[in-house]
Chain A
Amino acid sequence: MNTEGATSSGVAKDGALDSSSTAKRNSKKPKYSRFTQQELPACKPILTPGWVMTSFIFVGIIFIPIGFASLFASERVVEIVDRYDEDCVPRNYSYNKLAYIQNNATNKTCTKRLIVPKQMKSPIYIYYQLDNFYQNHRRYVKSRSDQQLRSTASEDVTSNCKPEAVTKNNSAIVPCGLIAWSLFNDTYGFSVKNKVLDVSKRNIAWKSDQEQKFGSDVYPKNFQSGSLIGGAKLNASIPLSDQEDLIVWMRTAALPTFRKLYGKIETDLEANDEITVVIQNNYNTYSFGGKKRLVLSTTSWIGGKNDFLGVAYLTVGGLCLFMAISFILLYVIKPRPLGDPSYLSWNRGTMN
C-alpha cells in the first residue's frame, strides 16, 4: 500500500513543480504527458467468467440464426448433378477409354436423361465440373499472355506461352498458351418434352474480363493449328471479348475440382420434367482419370447449393452455447474451485 501513496504523492509533487516553476523549463526533467508516462486512457479487457460467458453466448446467438438462414437458402436451391464420363463411353471401349476419346472417327455423341426433382426457376445455370484437373498448376497458370489477349499490338508477346506460343513457321498463336489450347470442348444440347431448350451463352463471364482483359479487336489466329490438338477450336471471326467460353475457361480455377459456367437456361423447369441432354463427349479427361459432370442449378442469395456453411455455422454456434452453459454450470456448482490444480501444487510446496 505504501508504494501507492508514494507514487501518488510523487505525482502530486511533480504537478506542483510543473505549475510553480516556469523558470525551470530548461531543466532536463522529462516533460509530462500521458503518452510519455505511459498513462494513456485505455480499456483493459480481462477474461472474467462473465466476459467469457457473454462472448460465447453472443457468438452462439449470432451464429445459429445465420446457420439456419443459410441452410434454408441452400435448401431452396435445386441442383442436378450428373456424371457422364463413364456412361458416355461405349461398352466396347470401356477398357480403353483413351483410345475412344483420342480417336477422331468414333461417335462422341451421347444422350442422357435427367429428371428435375423440384421446380427450377429460371435462370438455371449450366455448369461442367471437372475433377483432378490442375488448372492451378504453376506451369499451366503462367502459360498465357495477358498482353496478347488485350490488344493486337502485342500479338507477339508469347514468351510465357511455350510450347503453345508460335506455329512451326514462327507466327504467333492467338490466344497462346496451354490454358487456351486446352479449352474445354464438350457441348450439351437440352430438350424437354422434345422441345429444345435455349442455352444462353451471354453474360457467363465476368464483365471486367470481357471489357478489359480480352480485346474486342483481337481475333483468334493459328489456333489449334498444330499437330497436337488440345481442346476446342475457336471461330476466327469472333473477337476474343465475345468468346465467353474461352474467357470463362481462362479464368483459372483454384482447386483441381472445379465447376465452370457453361450457359444459362432462361425458362423454368417443372418438377419431374425429363430433360434430354445430348452430349458431345469430346474432352479428354480419361488420361488423367478426371471425372466429368454436368450440373444444372438454380441460385439463391448464398449462391449454389451449400449445406456446409449452414451446418458449420450451426455447429460452431452450438459449440459456443455449450461452452457457455458448461461455464455457467461450473460457476454455479463450484464458484471457487477447490480442485484448482495450481492451488494444490502450492500447498504441496509448503507441506514439504
Chain B
Amino acid sequence: MVYAFHCSLKMIMKGQKRKFPPEDVEVSDRCSPTWESQRQFVFSVSLSKYQRGQELPEPSLRRSVLIANTLRQISLEACRAPCVEREMSPCSSSSALQGKERESAFSEVTAAKHHSAVGFTNSHPALGSCPVPSSNYLSNCATNRCPASYHLNTSDVPLSVGDEDEDWGSMSTDPDFSLSAAISSILTALDSTIDGSPQAALRTPLRSLENLSRPSEGSMAGVKQGVRGYGGSWEQHQQQEEEEECRMRESNMEAMRSSYLSDLTVEDLFQDIDTSLLERDMGVLGFRGSGGGYPAGDDLLRYLPPFSPSSSTSSHPFSLSLNQNLKCLPSFSTFSPLSSSSCSSPSLSLQPSSPFSGQNHVREGLELEHLMEILVES
C-alpha cells in the first residue's frame, strides 16, 4: 500500500517538476496562487528527494531529517492556508481530526483512501467534508504516511477524493520501486520464518525488520516504511539497545494493530484468495506450513497495509480494497512457477470500473512470475 503511494508520487512528481519551475522570489502571501504553486513545487521536489535519499544504501541522516521536516511543514501550511476558490469548503474537518489520536487518524486516512478508491466517496463523514482540489493532494497526503514522521503528526492533512483512478492506476506502473520492494517484503517474510541467515540479496528490506522481534499484522507496511527510513537503516551495535527498540516498536505496532484488524479475521481477508497454490510454494521454498493456509496467510497478512475496521459489515469493499492493495504485491497466482496466469488477480472479483489497467498488471505479473521462478529454482 505504502509502496503504491510512492509510485503514484513519482509519477506525479515528474509532471510536477515541469509544471512548476522554481520562482525566483518566494511569495510570502499565502492566499496568492503563486504561493500555492510554490508550495506544491517545493513539496513535490522534497518528496522526490526524500525518496531518492531513502533508496540509497545509506542515506544521510541530516539530509533526510531536514527534508522530512520541510515536507511536514509544507503539509501543515497547506491546511493552515485558506483554501482558495476551489470546489469545496475550507478544511473544516481539520480541527475535527486534530483532536483525534494517532491511531485513529491513521486509520481514517486509510479508510478514506480505501473507500474513495472503490467509490465510497463520502463514507467517512469527517473526511468527506474536506476534499482537496487536485489529485496532487492525494499523493501529498499519501506520502504523509510514507516519510518517517508524518503519518502520525499531520492529522489535519486534507485528503483527496479527486483523481483516484489516475493514482491507483499509476501505482503499478513504477516497476523498480514497488515491485522489488514488494517482492523483497514477501521474501523476507518467508525468510524470517526459516531458520538461517537471510541471503545478502534480501538485506535491504530486512533492515527494517531487524528492529522488530516479530512482525505484527497489517500495520507493518505503513510503519515499516517509516522504520526503514531511520531506524531500520542503522543497526544498533549494542544488543541491548536493539532489543529495547524491538520492544518499543512492538508496542507501537500493538497499538496500531488493534485498531485495524479488530473486526476482521484472517479468513475474511483471504476468502477470495486461493492459498492452496501459495501453500505449495511455501513448501517448495522450505517454509514449514502447518497444513492450513493460515501460517502462510499470516505472513502475507503482515505485509498487507492496514484496513479500516469501520465498514466491516460488507466484505465486498474489503476484498476490493484488498485487490487494489494486492496489485502492488505479487499476486498469489504468480507464486507458482507453473502457473501460466499472468493476470495479477484472476480469482479476485473486480468491478468493471476498476481503475487498473490490465496491461500494467500483465506486465507486473509476468515480471513477478519470472522472479518467483528464479527464486524457486535456486
A and B: bona fide binding partners? no
Chain A interfacial positions (CB closer than 8 Å to B): none
